[in-house]
Structure 1
Amino acid sequence: MLSQPIPLKEALNQAKAPVYGRAACGFPSPAEEYAEPPLSLDELCEVGKPSLFILVAWGHSMSDLGVYDGDYLVVDRAKEPRVGSVVVARIGAEFTVKTYGIQNGLPVLIPANPAFETIVIGEFEESECWGVVMWNLHKLHD
């Protein structure tokens, strides 16, 4: 489940960090060096959009997809989910993060951890697809 949403309507200071190039995640390549423009995480994540919120994920139902307890999720409420989208859904008064899908013609929330059950949206109580997760930010090293 998630903590309360935090609106991102006002970006205070847009800091731009230099990008020094690219790093291969496969076999290293002696590719040509080229300059990358400075990167603003505010611009990259479109922080000024009024439909964006940051939520903090907790729990382990999406860990097999790389969404971990304590990750910061940038969620866009204006986006419509597609099959396969990672979404934030509201079930009753609680928020949950799952993958959006369709099974037997019904919208479902699919966990990425097999220890958790698939949820049919609207099966037990009032629920809605609240927003689409656009970015997942988590720390790799202390």
Structure 2
Amino acid sequence: MSLFRLDELPDQGFSKVHVPLMGPSLCVGFPSPADDFVENALELPRWLVPNPPATFLGRMAGDSMHDAGIFDGDIACVDRSLKPGHGSVVVAAVDGEMSIRRMVVQGDTARLAFDNADLPVYALEELAKVDVWGVVRFTIRWHISRARQRR
């Protein structure tokens, strides 16, 4: 197991940034960050968010990415400044509805795949309109039940 030592943290050290939390959930429809649909903001360590102006958070809904370890209720940190490539988990507007998928590039063809073996893969050019909004840097997940959190 590899752990960071304090002297190995990036130069930003322990400074913090506020990252907007957009709502509602990413997988069931999500207005663009340009619509200023900010539900709240979370304070995160600066070294987790290298480009704050291009970063936003969104809640996950559904089970389309459970094989990637992304579950209903998780919070995804999305960086719009990163260039997506083969294997990237991306947030994409598919016919105007925001969704999270894995990008698969084979030759000249890019596809968006669910990380759930029960759901289909399809080529981007088969869709009416697809815009990749950003790459998921990481997710935040509670490991205790919501009922226990309220105590």
| Paired residue total | 114
Whether 2:114 is the aligned partner of 1:111: answer yes
Q: CA deviation at 1:104?
A: 5.1
Q: Equivalents in 2 of 1:13, 1:66: separation in Å?
A: 22
Q: CA deviation at 1:55?
A: 1.1
1:4–1:55 Cα contact (<8 Å) kept: no
Structure-2 residue corresponding to 1:77: 80
Q: CA deviation at 1:73?
A: 0.5
Letter in 1 for 2:127: F
Structure-1 residue corresponding to 2:142: 139
2:73–2:141 Cα contact (<8 Å) kept: yes
Q: SS at the partner of 2:67?
A: helix
Larger Rg: 1
Higher relative contact order (CA 8 A, sep 6+): 1
Q: Percent identity?
A: 27
- RMSD over aligned CA atoms reads 2.6
Letter in 2 for 1:120: A
Q: Equivalents in 1 of 2:97, 2:128: separation in Å?
A: 11
Note the residue ranges of structure 1 that are not aligned, 5 or more in a row: 15-40
Structure-2 residue corresponding to 1:4: 31
Q: What whole-Å deviation, never above 9, does each CA across 1:12-61 have from its counterpart, x for those lacking one?
A: 895xxxxxxxxxxxxxxxxxxxxxxxxxx331322761000111111111
Whether 2:123 is the aligned partner of 1:120: answer yes
Q: SS at the partner of 1:59?
A: coil
Q: SS at the partner of 2:125?
A: coil
Note the residue ranges of structure 2 that are not aligned, 5 or more in a row: 1-26, 146-151
TM-score by length of 2: 0.66
Between Structure 1 and Structure 2, the one with more strand by share is 2
Q: Equivalents in 1 of 2:120, 2:97: separation in Å?
A: 16
Whether 2:55 is the aligned partner of 1:52: answer yes
Q: CA deviation at 1:103?
A: 3.0
2:103–2:112 Cα contact (<8 Å) kept: yes
Q: Equivalents in 2 of 1:4, 1:116: separation in Å?
A: 24
2:92–2:99 Cα contact (<8 Å) kept: yes
1:75–1:132 Cα contact (<8 Å) kept: yes
1:87–1:97 Cα contact (<8 Å) kept: yes
Q: Equivalents in 2 of 1:122, 1:66: separation in Å?
A: 27
Q: CA deviation at 1:105?
A: 2.2
Moved over 4 A (4+): none
